[in-house]
Structure 1
Amino acid sequence: MTETAVQAAATAARNLGLTVDEPTVLYEGFSTVVHLKPSPVVARVPMTLPGALQEPEPAVRQQRELDVVAWLVEEGLPVVPPSPLVPMKPVQQDGLSMTFWTYVDVDKAAEPDYVAATARVPELHDLLAKYPGELPWMTPLRLVGPGLNAVEAVPGLLEQEDVDRARAEWKVLEPILTSRTGFQEAFPTAIVQPLHGDAPAWNLITTVDGPLWADFEDVTIGPREWDFAGWGPDLCRTYSEAASTPLDPDVQQLMDLARVLQLLVCTPLVPQIPAMADGIRMFAVQWRSMPFAAGLG
């Protein structure tokens, strides 16, 4: 899959007029990220997922990310920008949909500082709250239902009783998690707004020119607590101390559970991404001690 993504990215870039002599993989995971050397451009090519987890319209999601990030650039937020050397739209090549971004020089000597990154998230949230475009509700959870229907037990990783519990929890939580109306009926005082959507404290890149926000693929409308799902009480406390309004512990408990369910449906991807197994196992151990359906059912 990686080689296919690299070749597709290089071909698409050349078709757009870029010089590509040495495409180099920077990252592999849910996406393959390719530096299209010598051009100062990076292609991000999402991997092809199993049917139940496959994004039905990946280009729609990608255009949404490009639009939001372009707006953030205009507003002066330090963010990895779309490449100005190509049109700002997803490109289709060899059955894959990809986007192109400005290459940034990462400071490889810097150690991740999640506390410092977390303290900066309120600034990001405050700006995102002003985003004038339309965003859908909780897009990161759009595939949990189909994924749970398709997931199978994997002994030693995800047992059958885990699968049964996850499906039962989703039956209770689906009306709350997949509908803004349903969520706000359950949590009328929660702050709902545009979000990064995928753990922004993880996606603050330290470059040689300073930190830059990145990877807005899951930008969405939802409760602020979703951006800290699964990060634990210490970093949630750090955010609350830096924000004008603290996180809601009841909403956080629900978002933590939603993150687990989102991760469990990725179990079929372990053969393609073996490193996921440790994360799934760790979250599953924590999840088994959580209240069923976050106490809502």
Structure 2
Amino acid sequence: MLKDGSNLVVHLRPAPVVARVGAVTSMVRGDVHEHFHRADSVARFLAGRGVPVVEPLLGPIRWDGLVVSFASYVEHDAEWRPDPASFAAMLAELHAELRHYPGALPAAAPLADIDAVLALAGRPADLVRARDGLAARWPDLPGQALHGDSHPRNVLFTARGPVWNDFEDAWFGPVGWDVACAARGPLLARDAVARAYPVEGLSYWLELRELFGRCWRLALDLHRDGPGHPARVQRSGRSGR
């Protein structure tokens, strides 16, 4: 197992293949087939333009109630940490290529995820207020195809250099969202990213990204505490309901 978070990611040893299985994403987004398909489509488009990306192999497919996609396993240095300037330059280069993406992408995708989590959680009043305030201030800025989750952990550092990964959250919107994704993570200094990739309205996108993260952490808690999840079984001492 490589990751057990919003999706389950498994290296199918000894094959150089990684399977991605919809988990929390399926709870929040329902049928994630379209999201997985969009990730493959964007990655294949970028690969065709010479952008280093993790190569999709097969999928997405539906199997036993799950949505699964398959990609090449990429040997990489898990301890690699980029400096803000180089990562900002990589992101700007990625955006330059993504401007040519011809496929359809959703608009305001972060708000759609936030709304879905709020509905699952019974619409907590503080989060609803924060969501409504941000939605009312949505900036009227030019849009383009975005990575959607462009933090350093979605870049693999390989022998041939950095390789972009995980385009599941791709959407059409202002580039400030992607810059906020990079700047809000724990691996890069926020002010340094902002200086290296100045964009209009970054403070707004940082606020939205913070709320987005809170909602996805809430979704993860709801998923882990659901009936039959091992964490719940261990606490309850029962075999599930």
- TM-score category, normalised to shorter length: 0.7 to 0.9
2:26, 2:170 → 1: CA distance? 22
Specify the alignment match of 1:56 in structure 2. Answer: 30
Normalised by the length of structure 2, the TM-score is: 0.80
Q: Tell me the alpha carbon deviations over residues 257-294 of structure 1, each in whole angstroms, 9 at most, x when there is no partner.
A: 111221222325237669xxxxxxxxxxxxxxxxxxxx
Specify the alignment match of 1:259 in structure 2. Answer: 209
1:32, 1:50 → 2: CA distance? 11
User: Are the aligned partners of 1:79 and 1:213 in contact in 2 as well (CA < 8 Å)?
Assistant: yes
User: Are the aligned partners of 1:151 and 1:265 in contact in 2 as well (CA < 8 Å)?
Assistant: no
1:216, 1:143 → 2: CA distance? 15
Specify the alignment match of 2:178 in structure 1. Answer: 227
The alpha-carbon deviation at position 210 of structure 1 amounts to 1.8
The percentage of counterpart residues that share the same residue type is 31
Among 143, 153, 167, the alignment partner of 1:202 is: 153
Among 91, 111, 121, the alignment partner of 2:80 is: 111
2:122, 2:112 → 1: CA distance? 19
Specify the alignment match of 1:171 in structure 2. Answer: 132
Aligned counterparts, 1:1-297, within 5 A: 25-48=1-24, 54-83=28-57, 88-108=58-78, 110-115=79-84, 116-151=86-121, 163-174=124-135, 177=138, 183-184=139-140, 190-229=141-180, 231=183, 232-240=190-198, 247-248=199-200, 251-266=201-216, 267-270=218-221
Q: Tell me the alpha carbon deviations over residues 141-193 of structure 1, each in whole angstroms, 9 at most, x when there is no partner.
A: 3121232344379xxxxxxxxx533312322333554xxxxx42xxxxx3311
Q: Tell me the alpha carbon deviations over residues 20-61 of structure 1, each in whole angstroms, 9 at most, x when there is no partner.
A: xxxxx122211111111222211111214685xx21221011
1:61, 1:252 → 2: CA distance? 26
5+ unaligned residues in a row in structure 2: which ranges?
Answer: 184-189, 226-241
Q: Judging changes above 3 Å, is the alpha-carbon distance between structure 1 residues 47 and 150 closer, same or farther for their aligned structure 2 residues?
A: closer
Aligned length: 216
SS state of the match for residue 53, structure 2? coil
SS state of the match for residue 38, structure 1? coil
Structure 2 counterpart of 1:238, one-letter code: A
5+ unaligned residues in a row in structure 1: which ranges?
Answer: 1-24, 154-162, 178-182, 185-189, 241-246, 275-297
Structure with higher RCO (Cα < 8 A, 6+ apart): 2
SS state of the match for residue 197, structure 2? helix
SS state of the match for residue 213, structure 2? helix
Normalised by the length of structure 1, the TM-score is: 0.66
Structure 2 counterpart of 1:97, one-letter code: V
- What is the Cα-based RMSD across aligned positions, in Å? 2.4
